[in-house]
Structure 1
Amino acid sequence: MSTLKLTRCDGTALIERHVLGMAEMGYHGISEQWLKRRAGDLHWRLIARAMGQRDAVFTCSEGEPLYAAFCATSLQLKRPHLPRLGGEMTLAADLFRVGHGRLASLLRITVGCDIVGGMILVSTFVGRSEPGSNRSVVRRSPRALAMPPEAPLAVRRFAEKASATAQDIRDDRLKLSGMSGTQKVLPCPATEFNAAGLLYFPSYSALADRALFQAGERQTNMVASRYVVYLGNVEPGEWLDINFRKLPSGHDVLLHGPDSRPLALMRVRFDRAS
């Protein structure tokens, strides 16, 4: 067993201010893809700072590459109509611990003095047991462990619920009734995989939305919330099977890879006022 260096951080938030242009805005309001990419980058930078590193590049004690992979994310947009083209948005993120081997960031989203919403992102460190194989991704410990403050109760509850849901799916204890026919989607490496060669976490939501649109779900309201539990990854060139269940204010969506491997479960809700 290797001895890991413990590094404490001061808990100070990382803050970004953005002028909202075409890159930041989407078809209806703020771009969820852009927002998740920024939130993920803040999360990784917070971990690097907590470990005393300048760059968000992580390795295990043997020097092999590690990645801070997301276990679950929760996006809540209480006032999705506030972000406007040409306006300004502030993102402020803090890092916390949520149990052995997991870290969580809490992101606050504001426009001017108004709170738009927030995100919770929970991650753990993973590496590949076989070079180049996304199916061989397993949990591993980094060279240095970050020791930020304990997470607030709401963040801990979210992390615990997500962990329990993931275990129920893996153990085939979670039975989802009312799921409709399967839509097949093929992720494109040039746009939906990241620099680590893994299917990027915002891409799960984008692929689910694409499948819903293919199935005839012409949703025009803004996203009010999206809760995602991540369960696995795929290789470039592998197809995804996406099932969904329509609900009064949104959808439940289940993503599978080849051999019916569960990849993600998500619940998306739309803003009725928009």
Structure 2
Amino acid sequence: MSLHMRLAGAGSPLSDASSYVLGMPHLSPNGLSENWLWKELGHRHWNLIAKAYGRAATGFGSVGDQPIYAAFRNISLHGGDLGGVRENDSLDVRSTITHLSETRVVSRHFAAYRDRLIADVEMTSVFVRRQAEGVNRSITRVRIEGTGSAEPSLGTMPSQPAYCGHETLAHDTCVDEHELGTTDITMCPHLDFNGAGLLYFSSFVAAVDRAEWHFIGKRSGHFSTRGRQARFHANIEVGDDITVRMFAAQDGAACRHRALLSASVDGKLLAEVMTHRTMS
């Protein structure tokens, strides 16, 4: 079954399809840039939400209230073949909202080159707003109402923007894993935070990549992503750094690791990321 058939119905208000001629912004030395892909799919996810609620121009929330954002709780990439594209290739991306409610949105994205799967991505977000202006640790979940207002969601957990709090990726730990170590990653507001002043979800993944490069070294540069899972629990303030604790499995032909990301200032768990890479 082709990718186009699997995504029958693209073009409806809850779907979108686009093509990209790949150039330097889209690429890394080993093929498609995973960091670019996450940012682009995050943008598509938000645009689909805006279309679904009919608020592409005005956004969410009432005038005078703190803005409402879609904060990612989970992201996953499967069937990755990011090393399968090169400069000037045409990448087709089809995106669909598969679940939409007042509290949660799930989107599915297929990226393909000549109908060959490059990445199958699922993204889950919840609606959040700050309780105190400019304080990321005050973020709480809210419910989007049909009229455009927002109310606190049941089970709200202040300073845990996503993300449903106690679920972890512990059941996905690598077989025969060993601890590689712990390293601190400096976060830069010009590179790692988004327009809402929050540490962007793709920056959590980038921090894991920096830690991988730190622990594994040049061997890491020959790998491309086959699979990635991340679960987000909290955010940080501008000026805070992240501590990455990494565990890896023994596998000479591949790179499999699990990372726990915490706030350097107080040790609060921010995210968990599972990664599977193979030689390009």
- TM superposition score category, shorter chain reference: 0.7 to 0.9
2: CA distance between counterparts of 1:175 and 1:19?
37
CA distance in 2, matches of 1:256, 1:266: 12
Give the aligned partner of residue 257 of structure 2: 251
1: CA distance, partners of 2:168 / 2:115 = 41
Q: 1:184 corresponds to which residue?
A: 184
Q: Does 1:240 align with 2:236?
A: no
Q: Structure 1 unaligned runs (5+)?
A: 1-8, 147-161
RMSD after superposition: 2.9
Whole-angstrom distance in 2 between the partners of 1:10 and 1:88: 23
Q: How does 1:66-85 map to 2 (within 5 A)?
A: 66-85=68-87
Superposition deviation, residue 216 in structure 1: 3.8
**Percent identity of paired positions between Structure 1 and Structure 2:** 27
CA distance in 1, matches of 2:115, 2:23: 20
Match for residue 17 of structure 1? 19
Residue matched to 2:200: 200
Alpha-carbon shift at residue 207 of structure 1 (Å): 1.0
Does the 8 A contact of 1:51 with 1:145 survive in 2? Answer: no
Bigger drift between 77-86 and 252-261 goes to 77-86
User: Following superposition of structure 1 onto structure 2, how do residues 157-168 of structure 1 map, counting pairs within 5 Å?
Assistant: 166-168=165-167
What is the letter of the counterpart of residue 225 of structure 1?
G
Partner SS for 1:187: coil
Note the C-alpha offset of 1:214: 2.1
Specify the code of the residue in structure 2 equivalent to 1:222.
S
Q: Aligned partners of 1:269, 1:120: CA distance in 2, in Å?
A: 16
Offset of residue 169 of structure 1: 4.8
Structure 1: 4+ residue segments shifted above 6 A: 172-177
| Residue type at the aligned position of 1:79 | D
Which residue of structure 2 aligns with residue 213 of structure 1? 213
Relative to the length of structure 2, the TM-score reads: 0.80
The Cα shift of 1:200 comes to 0.5
TM-score normalized by the length of structure 1: 0.81
Assess if the C-alpha contact under 8 Å between 1:60 and 1:140 holds in 2. Answer: no
- Work out whether residues 70 and 201 of structure 1, in 8 Å CA contact, stay in contact via their aligned partners in 2: yes
Matched, 1:225 2:227: yes
Counterpart-to-counterpart distance in 2, 1:85 and 1:77: 21
Contiguous gaps of at least 5 residues in structure 2: 1-10, 149-161
Kept in 2, the 8 Å contact 1:65–1:127? The answer is yes
| Shift of residue 81, structure 1, vs aligned partner | 2.9
